[in-house]
Amino acid sequence: MKKLILDPEPKNFKNEGNQLKVEWTDGHESMHYHKYLRENCPCALCQGEPDLLGSVKILGQTIPDDIRPKEVSPVGRYAINIVWSDGHRTGIYTFDYLRGLCQCTECLSQKDE
Ligand SMILES: [Zn+2]
Ligand SMILES: [Zn+2]
């Protein structure tokens, strides 16, 4: 029998200063600097998309220091969509991806190995 592993899901979002705090169903509270989260927007526009020759074009974007999420809404049961104060709204952050961007001391120390 396969062991059942429940992937944690975010259950609560709140803006605190320049951070987005996320409460997870496994009890973890992750924190994400707004700018960092915006810089790591996974959408094709922000990350560049390989063209037919395979080269990736990154569009130069200036992200304001006071960028903040205006709206966070669920996408199915696997991701969230963030509408940013600069009007950007195409980023879909999967739960896995979001959790991987956590900048709390606990998660950061795990990444340092
Ligand atoms: Zn984006
Ligand atoms: Zn964390």
Q: Name all domains of the chain by residue range, CATH numbers in brackets.
A: 11-111 (3.30.2020.30)
Nearest to 24 by CA among 37, 11, 14, 13: 11
Looking at all shown ligands, the one closest to residue 21's CA atom is 2
Q: How far is the CA of 39 from the centre of ligand 2 (A)?
A: 18
The arithmetic mean of pLDDT across residues 22-33, rounded, is 97
Here the tokens at position 33 are: 């600097």
pTM comes to 0.83
Ligand nearest to the CA of 27: 2
Nearest listed ligand to the Cα of residue 93: 1
User: Between residues 41 and 111, which one has the greater pLDDT?
Assistant: 41
Q: Rounded to the nearest whole angstrom, what is the distance from the C-alpha of residue 32 to the centroid of ligand 2?
A: 9
What pLDDT, in 10s, does the model give residues 28-58?
999 999 999 999 999 988 887 777 776 655 5
Contacts of 98 (CB under 8 A, 6+ apart): 10, 22, 30, 32, 80
Query: Do the beta carbons of residue 103 and residue 33 sit within 8 Å?
Result: yes
Inter-residue contact 41 to 91 (CB < 8 Å): yes
| 77 Cα–ligand 1 center, Å | 20
Give how far the C-alpha of residue 14 lies from the chain's centroid of Cα atoms, to the nearest Å: 14
Residue with structure tokens 């074009």?
57
Is the model more confident about 58 or about 81?
81
User: Residue 1 C-alpha to ligand 1 middle, in angstroms?
Assistant: 40
Percent with pLDDT over 70 in the chain: 85
Q: Which ligand is nearest to the CA of 59?
A: 1
